[in-house]
Amino acid sequence: MNFPIISALILLPTIGSIFLLFSQNKNENTVTVKYVALFTSIVNFILSIYLWYLFDRTTSDFQFVEDRIWLEGFVNYKVGIDGISILFIILTTFITPLCILSVNNSIKTRLRDFLIAILIMESFMIGVFCSLDLIIFYLFFEAGLIPMFLIIGIWGGSRRVYSAFKFFLYTLLGSVLMLVAIISIYWITGTTDVIQLYELGIDAKYQNLLWLAFFSSFAVKTPMWPVHTWLPDAHVEAPTAGSVLLAAILLKMAGYGFIRFSLGLFPIASDIYTPLIYTLSVIAIIFTSLIALMQEDMKKLIAYSSVAHMGFVTLGIFTIQQQGIEGSIIQMISHGLVSAALFFCVGVIYDRMHSRLISSYGGIVAVIPKYSVLFMLFTLASIGLPGTSGFIGEFLILMGAFKDSFLVAVIASLGVILGAAYMLWLYKRVVFGKLVNKDLEKMIDLNHSEYFILSCLAIPILFFGFYPEPLIDTIEVSVKNLIDTYNLSLMNK
């Protein structure tokens, strides 16, 4: 067990991107470039599955821990995984190859640079999910801004510059306060090592401010109401693969951060601020669902639905119930798959018709039936229909919420209805009805790679919808341990 498997996961995409950087680009030999990137990301996926296979589900300790001296006397390079992080790593390595597969249709210029950006992004995202040191976490968390900024800015739509800046500056502004908090933690406790911090605990009198500083960063990234406004812009302007990465993985960094750091390091403050999170989450669920109803742009609609779904996630995390937190994690995984699939779906028709407006579609079910079936499946998964993974997540979250606060749970349940309303209405307007436009008749149904991508996403959505056991089995012990330590430190207050 001396092979540093986690570092390999982080480094592999970067190595792949270095290969791409030095590849000859003279003949516009895009196929080779794409295969190199695809190969790298698939190897990484297999490696992460192998990691899941090796993973010991019976313990809540961190596994595969690597600890190296890095900044001497200050920060150690420390990475490792537990039941919570491994699922996010697999989600990352699963989504990335699909993004690379999808570039055929959507990326017309500078393919090589795009693939380099995606692979570097993958490295940083995996790094976020397995870092066990606050500074290392911050490093990966921030560094991810660079490739995403470029992805939105270079390959995005017409308002790409505005969106890229908004994305970058919003997130950076949130994060710098977290850096202050991290350095403060170092001076309070003498370490930034997460495992040691779990054991030492942080003095209750510091927890409030530190929690708020971390919250400022995670709230922007989640995104929670009212700092969610960067997300619709970024989603709309980003190319399909960029939107997918953003929705499927980048948003999950914050949810993961809430579980790992806010709950784990500051239990007393988390307890105090739970009403705040509840309020913001409920507002996010109801308010953004209503906004989503009124959207005319498909990508914007899905972006707002993401905000609503992430509202469920934050709600579930702060119920501090076994079901609530497990539900949140499953909801994040499920949302990662479903939102990715929905953005791919929008991408498919956008590539053909070059319009994201709902009003320019209608009645395409007769023209492209295969597509319509899969789109239906993802729409239903987004609503949370039983039998899809979305249902398991939402159901567990609401169950946790009912245990904690009846009122909040009832209001949040209303959000489920609204969610069904805007998604079904979207589906109805786009797919059913009369053909609004002669050009729509010329649309071609899914090609092989699109069909493959969407099926790849459909399979786990259905599989985990019927049989969520592998997911729950992986996270159960870690979540239980988290809640136990949480309650213990509240009692010792």
Partner 1 sequence: MENLQLILPEIFIALSIMFLLIFGVFKKNSSEIIQNISLLVLLVTAVIVFNETLDVKKITLFNGGVIIDYLSSLMKIITLLAAFIVLVISKSYLKIFKIFKIEYPILILSSVLGMMIMISSNDLMVFYMGLELQSLALYVLATFNRDQLKSSEAGLKYFVLSALSSGLLLYGCSLIYGFSGSTNFDVIANELNSNEYVLTFGIVFILVGLSFKISAVPFHMWAPDVYEGSPTSVTLFFTMVPKIAALTVFIRFLYVPFLNLIDQWQMILIFLSIASMLFGAIAAIGQKNIKRLAAYSSIGHIGYVLAGLATGTNEGIQSSVMYISIYIIMNLGLFSCLLMMKRNNEYYEDIDDLSGLSKNHPLLSLSLLIILFSLAGIPPMAGFFAKLYIFKTVIEQSMYFLAIVGLLSTVIAAFYYLRIIKIIYFDKEKEKFDTDHGSWLKFSLTFSTILILLYFIFPTQLVQVVSRINII
The contact set with partner 1 (CB under 8 A) reads: 69-72, 74, 113, 135, 138-139, 142-143, 145-146, 149-150, 153-154, 160-161, 164-165, 168-169, 172-173, 176-177, 179-180, 183-184, 186-187
- CA dist 85 and 478 (Å) reads 10
- CA dist 224 and 43 (Å) reads 35
Rounded least distance, CB 71 to partner 1, Å: 5
- CA dist 398 and 409 (Å) reads 6
Rounded least distance, CB 168 to partner 1, Å: 6
- CA dist 235 and 305 (Å) reads 12
Rounded least distance, CB 173 to partner 1, Å: 5
Which residue, 69 or 444, has its beta carbon nearer to partner 1?
69
Rounded least distance, CB 195 to partner 1, Å: 21
Q: What is the DSSP string of 289-319?
A: HHHHHT--BHHHHHHHHHHHHHHHHHHHHTT
Nearest Cα residue to 244 out of 146, 157, 125, 347: 347
Q: Which amino acid is at 9?
A: L
Nearest Cα residue to 245 out of 430, 103, 40: 103
Which residue, 38 or 154, has its beta carbon nearer to partner 1?
154
Rounded least distance, CB 364 to partner 1, Å: 33
The C-alpha angle with vertex 161 and arms to 158 and 165, in degrees rounded to 5, equals 145
Which residue, 77 or 425, has its beta carbon nearer to partner 1?
77
Rounded least distance, CB 161 to partner 1, Å: 6
- CA dist 334 and 389 (Å) reads 6
Which residue, 76 or 321, has its beta carbon nearer to partner 1?
76
3-state secondary structure of 66: strand
Rounded least distance, CB 142 to partner 1, Å: 5
Longest dimension (CA), the chain: 70
Which residue, 221 or 335, has its beta carbon nearer to partner 1?
221
Rounded least distance, CB 190 to partner 1, Å: 11
Which residue, 70 or 406, has its beta carbon nearer to partner 1?
70
Rounded least distance, CB 440 to partner 1, Å: 32
Which residue, 153 or 347, has its beta carbon nearer to partner 1?
153
3-state secondary structure of 437: coil
3-state secondary structure of 79: strand
Nearest Cα residue to 138 out of 174, 92, 188: 174
Rounded least distance, CB 251 to partner 1, Å: 20
Which residue, 151 or 308, has its beta carbon nearer to partner 1?
151
Which residue, 152 or 291, has its beta carbon nearer to partner 1?
152
Cβ-proximal residues to 47 (8 Å cutoff; 6+ apart), any chain: 5, 8, 9, 12, 93
Residue 78 CA to its chain's centroid (Å): 23
Which residue, 4 or 363, has its beta carbon nearer to partner 1?
4
Nearest Cα residue to 341 out of 159, 94, 46, 141: 94
Rounded least distance, CB 180 to partner 1, Å: 5
Q: What is the CA radius of gyration of the chain?
A: 22
Residue 71's φ and ψ, nearest 5 degrees, are: -90, 105
Rounded least distance, CB 46 to partner 1, Å: 27
Rounded least distance, CB 18 to partner 1, Å: 12
Q: What is the DSSP string of 333-349?
A: HHHHHHHHHHHHHHHHH
Torsion of CA 339, 344, 350, 356, to 10 degrees: 0
3-state secondary structure of 71: strand
Which residue, 70 or 467, has its beta carbon nearer to partner 1?
70
Nearest Cα residue to 15 out of 102, 107, 122, 106: 122
Which residue, 141 or 486, has its beta carbon nearer to partner 1?
141
Which residue, 72 or 199, has its beta carbon nearer to partner 1?
72
Provide the 10 A C-beta neighbour count for residue 296.
Answer: 12
Q: What is the DSSP string of 340-374?
A: HHHHHHHHHHHHHH---BGGG---TTTT-HHHHHH
